[in-house]
Structure 1
Amino acid sequence: MSDELSIIVSEQSNPLDGAAFAAGPGPMLVMASAGDCARFSLRTAKKNLAKATEAFGQVIPPQIGEMSSRAVKTALCLGPDEWLLLAPESERESITARFAKQSEQATHSLVDVSHRSVGIDISGPGAALVLNAGCPLDLTALPVGGCTRTILDKAEIILMKPGKEHYRLEVVRSFADFVWNFLSSAGREFETESG
């Protein structure tokens, strides 16, 4: 047996990098990989949201199920003291540094979870129908600017509704291909109906 130490460096890659799908006339459905971004899990008390908003550079909503999005940053309230923050990868270090400076003033936990999930954008008049092929929620009840944890077939997802016919979902990287294939398969129904 050798006394040599082996170091294996693994680079995370987005399994959906460059993926795109469209179906039906119009098209009825458009899907695309949302691309990589910085993702943070923030845990803090609501009394600290003003400081957290300052550190993130974007309003962090106080109510569960609310999402705030401006320019290239998004904040989702997922629980009584839990938020998911999305930002450009180029801002990862500066966001982390700003939160670190505030740690004594506003107790919090900020964890970089960028490699945990991937995003999928799904839009068009058929987006809700395709999602409802595997999601038990009444998506008409989800307001624009809303978000929730749910399931899609067998995969846990975080579902956001940035526009009337626009959804974005975050799925754990290991389920990305499964979710993409499920949505693509459901979306092919529009091709059958129009053909």
Structure 2
Amino acid sequence: MAEPYGESPLATRAEALAARSGPDAVHITEVPFKAQITLRVDPKGSGAERIGTAIHAMLPNQPGEVVHAEGALVLGLGPDEWLLIGPEGAAESISDTLTTALDGDHGAVVDVSAHRTILEVSGPHARDLLNMGCALDLHPRGFATGRCAQTLLARAAVVLVCRDAALPTYWLIVRSSFARYVADWLIDAAGEYGW
């Protein structure tokens, strides 16, 4: 019997991404297999309060905010929607923690780990590269470290996270079905920098 294994959506693009990466311009890599859990709950309800206690951090109260919680990064995606990102293999643990904290209150906890992958874009020209295909103002005054946004990059829906505005470093959280398209777009656009 064959052993089950997982392959990231961008396994076939790893070499091409590395070939378009340069230390003085931009570095593009996949951050595969992160646990990703969506949470929907009334932010003013007791369930949200219990979840904050369980993860040792209050849920971001505004869309676009990012909070570091115990073992997860919490992205505020909407008035009652969050995405929790944790280490590989932590999806079940995070889901169980959230479900237990809901304690029967109205809400939803869904494991979307296999639904999306993450591309990290970093380096001195990372902001310039992303600005070629994204309408958001990525200047640190408007999109600082610890901010996120649901947006389009080259017509593909992504969640963009500013991990470090000074370096800069960004995460692009993209659906697995669009991951190759976004990676190919980044590879092509990075050609501007001579790689």
Change (3 A) 1:94 1:178: same
DSSP-derived class of the 1:21 partner = helix
Deviation at 1:21, TM superposition (A): 2.6
Deviation at 1:185, TM superposition (A): 1.0
Corresponding residue for residue 132 of structure 1: 131
Q: Distance in 2 between matches of 1:107 and 1:182?
A: 40
Assess if the C-alpha contact under 8 Å between 1:120 and 1:168 holds in 2. yes
Change (3 A) 1:70 1:110: closer
Q: Does 1:163 align with 2:153?
A: no
Deviation at 1:108, TM superposition (A): 1.9
Match of 2:24 among 14, 17, 27: 27
Which of 68-77 and 161-170 deviates more?
A: 68-77
One-letter amino acid of the counterpart of residue 46, structure 1: P
DSSP-derived class of the 1:188 partner = helix
Corresponding residue for residue 174 of structure 1: 177
Deviation at 1:154, TM superposition (A): 1.8
Change (3 A) 1:71 1:80: closer
Corresponding residue for residue 4 of structure 1: none
One-letter amino acid of the counterpart of residue 25, structure 2: M
Match of 1:13 among 7, 18, 21: 7
Aligned Cα root-mean-square deviation (Å): 2.3
Assess if the C-alpha contact under 8 Å between 2:20 and 2:28 holds in 1. no
Corresponding residue for residue 64 of structure 1: 63
Deviations 1:77-120 (A, max 9, x none): 01010001111232222222222223336432101111111100
Which of 122-131 and 47-56 deviates more?
A: 47-56
| TM-score, normalised with respect to structure 1 | 0.84
Match of 2:187 among 165, 184, 188: 184
Corresponding residue for residue 86 of structure 2: 87
Deviation at 1:26, TM superposition (A): 3.8
Assess if the C-alpha contact under 8 Å between 2:65 and 2:148 holds in 1. yes
Assess if the C-alpha contact under 8 Å between 1:28 and 1:124 holds in 2. yes
Change (3 A) 1:29 1:71: farther
Q: Distance in 2 between matches of 1:26 and 1:161?
A: 19
Structure 2 alignment gaps of length 5 or more = none
Change (3 A) 1:191 1:59: farther
